[in-house]
Each structure stands twice: as C-alpha cells, then as structure tokens.
Amino acid sequence: MTQTNTKDESTYLSLFKSGDPEAFTYFFNCYWEELYTVAYRHMRDEDTAKDLVQEVYIQIWEKRHLINSDYLSLRPYFFRVLKNKVLNYYASEKVRKEVVEQMLYRMENTVIAGDSSSVYRQLEHIVEESVANLRGLMKTVYQMRTDNYSITQIAQKLGIAEQTVKNYLSEARAILKKELTQRFADHDNLLTLLITYHLIHDFLM
C-alpha cells in the first residue's frame, strides 16, 4: 500500500468509527473483491463466500467503536475477521458432520429400514403441506432455492434485493422447522427424533 493510500485510509478510519456511510463504502470498495477471492478459495462456493464476506463487513461495522484508532490500515483487521469466519464455519460443519455420522451409525445398528423410511415419507408429506401454506414471494423464493437457483439468480428473476431473498429463506426455514418439530413432538422414541432431525436438515438446507 502506498503512503498516499495509507494516509487516505487513516482519514476514512475515523469517519468509519463515527458511522459515516461514505467511509463504509470506501472500505467496501477497497477490500470486497480481495476478501471474496480469499473466501471463495476456501469455500469453493460462490454464495457461501459472499455470505462470509458480508458477515465480515456487518461484524466490523457493528463493532466499529472497538477498532483501534492507531491503525494505519484496516486490511489486516478485515482479513483476520475473515479468517475467524472461515475457521468457525469449518468447525461448525465438522461438529455437525460428526453428530450426523454418529447418529447414522446408531440407525444402521438399531433401526429397521422400514421405520426410517416411514418417518421420511411423513416428513415429505408435512413439508409439502407446509410449503403450500407459505405466503406470496416467500413460497416462490423457497421453491426456487430448492430448485438450485442461487441467491443472486432468485433476486434477479424476482426483481428484489438479495438480502430480501435471504430474509424470505430464513423465515421459511424457521416456519418449516417449527412445523416439523411440532408434528413429531409426540414421538417419545429418542432415536426416531434423531432420525427426524437428520431428515429435517436434508429438507431445510
């Protein structure tokens, strides 16, 4: 980074800490592309990489008052936060995978195949009913996502913001998960519940 750029950045830093939108735009333009490139290199998925970079900007903006005023450049700070996001992502994925693997091992040894397929058929039926009851654009967005449209593609086709798409998906998944867990609340068999939660994950990805 040149001396001039360092001077410019230190000027924008104080504005950023005070909540100036122009300063946010400055740092967004400075580092977005580079952060995305690094995130994509790790994730190998466009939407996940974009989500992680967006989370980096949101976190730093929300905690901007904690930034050290002596910093000459925020570049190391941005990339440190991104590194933590990537590590946390892989940590959570590893934990989820281990739990699922343990559960599947128990299923293979203690559950009759017909039992799990019966639960799966019930889940399919409940999901179909619940999706049919989703309202307006939320239903359209959810169906397009299950048809493997990306967040960006859905936003472009429906003429809405990408954040709006994410909000609809989040709300739809919450509704479906609540419906599924309520419908299976009367199952007193722990293993059946574990199977159910595994299949819920498949349906709500």
Of 27-31, 160-164, 182-186, give the lowest mean pLDDT range. Answer: 182-186
User: Average pLDDT, stretch 177-186?
Assistant: 66
Encode pLDDT of 112-153 as tens digits. 444 545 555 666 677 778 888 888 899 999 888 877 788 899
CA distance 35 to 49: 9
First to last CA, the chain: 41
Please enumerate, as own/partner, the contacts of 36-40 that have beta carbons within 8 Å and a separation of 24 or more: 38/79, 38/82, 39/82, 39/85, 39/86
Q: Which residue has the higher pLDDT, 71 or 102?
A: 71
